[in-house]
Structure 1
Amino acid sequence: MEVRKSSKRRYLLYIAQNYSYAMLRPLQQVILARGDEVCWFLEGREVDPKFLKADEKRLPDIDAVKAWKPDAVFVPGNVVPSFIPGVKVGVFHGFNAGKMNHKGREDHFEIRDCFDLYCTQGPATTLPFLELEKKFGTFTVAETGWPALDPLFIENKDNPYIKPDDPRPVVLFCSTFSPSLTCAPEVFEQIKALSQKSQWRWLVQFHPKMKPSIVEQYKTLENENLQFVETDNVIPLLQAGDVMLCDTSSILLMFLMQRKPVVTFKNQSPKAHLIDINRVEEIEPAITRALSRTDDLMAHIHDYCNQIHPTGDGQSSQRVLAATDALIDKGTAWLKPKPLNLLRHFKMRRKLGYWKLF
């Protein structure tokens, strides 16, 4: 087992989906810039190691993680094993899109007894989590902003989806994978028809869990007006779009943070900051309205963004690290012990194939 000789702090980036690479790389950049250490751990089969860069370090298994002894673990997901070292920090894999879980509760605020610190994105999430902090006492909360958005507020002059020689407005179509929530099958024929017109340029990107048959269906639409994109980094796509067409995917909230309008199709909880429609025939006029950016619509978007993610300085990673370091220094003994939750931890051990007790 490795003996720690360095005074540098160690931070583990624990991911289970390909889109999490881009979410945690802003944190990695800040950690390395100040001279500390970073390693990645890839959980399960849905995250592909090919997306690791040549200079990024991966720990192959739990034994290696325990030997490395991270001071903190950053997780853009719902769960993390209790049997690995370090302060467990939840940084979220998206905004609260109002999705309900099988228990009839908002999934974004479900406490799964895994984290010591939640780094929230803005008042809309901070206030509910502070109430949960009082209720459970097993974790603490800090409003930091979301590290995944840091690059969104930095101009990318090499963005491959921005075409200076093409002045047409860009419509970014994104959709979630859930069969009950996705609009992709229902709007296919309408998008096919619209993509054969030349008034807009279309970019299409789906959640990585989207049904393969739907992905293949949309790939057939590619032409000079529509590009289908498969990527682990959606930030350049968000920057390139002028308006988004979506359903109930939380990616629409990332798009809104740029103060850009979103058209939603049968959104679960439509509000004034969205242009929500229910019929495919409404897609074209709704996009036209969104592109006009009326004063009332933009005012609603501005107010909503101030509740969801008020900071647009690209410094959320620094605030997350500051909150994490403060908890490392203070320790977690003052927090209430977490419930054992034996079933969840058994499932995690089975998934990871790890049965050692120490």
Structure 2
Amino acid sequence: MDACLLFATELYALPILRPLAAAAQRRGQRVAWVVPAALARYLAADETRLVSRRAVRAFAPQAVFSAANWVPPGIPGAKVQVFHGFNAEKREPERGHFALRGFFDLYCTQGPATTAPFQALARRCRYFAVAETGWPKLDPLFSEDGARAAALRSGDGRPVVMYAPTFSRKITSAYRMYDTLRELVARGDRYWLLTLHPKCEPALFASYRALVGPHAAFYESDRLMDMQRAADVLVSDTSSVLHEFAVQLKPVVTLCNRRPKPFMLDVQDPADIDAAIDRALARPPELMAALRAHAEAIHPYRDGRSSERVLDATERLLAGGYGPLERKPLNLRRRWKAWRDSRALFQG
């Protein structure tokens, strides 16, 4: 593989794809990005953005890696799904993590919990392959020296608590938690790292930024990895971030999680969050055992080499190592929608 294209539509996709880009460049491969204009300002000076279909065709990628649930039609190369999050069970399986939209040739799954269902779908549909690789986004959790994360801690020995809600108005805790968070932050016995999903309303961003001070900091979602490494406990709801955090074997407190699991400390009232954080910081043995079991199921890889496995799986796909695949379904309505949405990505 000589060239690969990285496709992102949201800010949270950049830390997913950057470890993959770095791994490709270490192999001597050319790398370019397709992102909307709103995301372009977050690209580094050495991250090449292609702004026209003509430029994409000239770049001639052999593979396109997507951290969205679609890819722009007409782009050359094998289409590889690397996922924009873990299976947080926000929706029913056929509408959520395991929904098939007919865009991809290869699904690179994160661990046994997702590999088996996608393999069953592949046997039934026969137009895509599945490889369990681990998730590129988590490579820095296990491979970097941690200096960037250490810089986010308070430096005075206080426990560090991260708050990261999801954005869906039906299940987010961001509105219910605000008053409680304001009180807990003001108390000052813990240091808080706050973030919001990029799709949250500007007014909500303004409210949470107003909590910044000696006891709290606010970061956008491109710093999620550093925040997760820095924090001792995560407070969330039904966000997929809680699974990323749990892979580190660090406790998670949730408010009204849609489908609570044994590895979570789930409460139904914001008033109970404080006590749940205390319990999480104590790391009771039964909770830690549940965390370990969950981490092994969703992402057993701790070597920081998931990006390498994604590239290896893609090379195997390009070499025909998964056998002949059938043609992808035509699905004209979905492809028309993807073509319409992709117009915002290209200038010509």
TM exceeding 0.5: yes
Q: 1:240 to 1:110 in 2, by over 3 A?
A: same
Contact 2:127–2:327 under 8 Å retained in 1 = yes
Aligned equivalents of 1:213 and 1:32: distance in 2?
Answer: 40
Aligned equivalents of 1:333 and 1:295: distance in 2?
Answer: 46
Q: Alpha-carbon deviation of 1:74? A: 0.3
The answer on 1:277 being equivalent to 2:270 is no
Aligned equivalents of 1:167 and 1:299: distance in 2?
Answer: 26
Q: Alpha-carbon deviation of 1:231? A: 4.2
Q: How does 1:162-181 map to 2 (within 5 A)?
A: 162-163=152-153, 165-181=155-171
Select the residue among 72, 75, 78 that pairs with 1:81: 72
In structure 2, what is the equivalent of residue 289 of structure 1?
279
Structure 1 segments of 4+ aligned residues over 6 angstroms from their partners: none
CA-to-aligned-CA distance 1:166-204 (integer Å, 9 cap, x gap): 100001000111100110111111111111112110110
The answer on 1:304 being equivalent to 2:294 is yes
Contact 2:80–2:106 under 8 Å retained in 1 = yes
Select the residue among 236, 242, 260 that pairs with 2:226: 236
Q: How does 1:169-248 map to 2 (within 5 A)?
A: 169-248=159-238
Letter in structure 1 aligned against 2:339: R
Report the count of equivalent residues: 343
* Aligned CA-pair RMSD: 1.7
3-state SS, counterpart of residue 54 of structure 2: helix
Aligned equivalents of 1:163 and 1:299: distance in 2?
Answer: 26
Select the residue among 75, 86, 96 that pairs with 1:107: 96
Q: Alpha-carbon deviation of 1:331? A: 7.7
3-state SS, counterpart of residue 175 of structure 1: coil
3-state SS, counterpart of residue 48 of structure 1: helix
Q: Alpha-carbon deviation of 1:27? A: 0.9
In structure 2, what is the equivalent of residue 150 of structure 1?
139
In structure 2, what is the equivalent of residue 136 of structure 1?
125
Q: 1:290 to 1:131 in 2, by over 3 A?
A: same
Which of structures 1 and 2 has the larger relative contact order (alpha carbons within 8 angstroms, sep 6+)?
A: 2
Q: 1:223 to 1:233 in 2, by over 3 A?
A: closer
Select the residue among 30, 36, 49 that pairs with 2:40: 49
TM-score where L is the length of structure 1: 0.92
Letter in structure 2 aligned against 1:21: L
Q: Alpha-carbon deviation of 1:221? A: 1.7
Structure 1 residues 253-262 or 156-165, which shifts more?
156-165
Q: Alpha-carbon deviation of 1:232? A: 1.7
In structure 2, what is the equivalent of residue 35 of structure 1?
28
Contact 1:142–1:323 under 8 Å retained in 2 = yes
Q: Which runs of 5+ in 1 are unaligned?
A: 1-7
TM-score where L is the length of structure 2: 0.95
Q: Alpha-carbon deviation of 1:216? A: 1.1
3-state SS, counterpart of residue 109 of structure 1: coil
Q: Alpha-carbon deviation of 1:78? A: 0.3
Aligned equivalents of 1:179 and 1:353: distance in 2?
Answer: 28
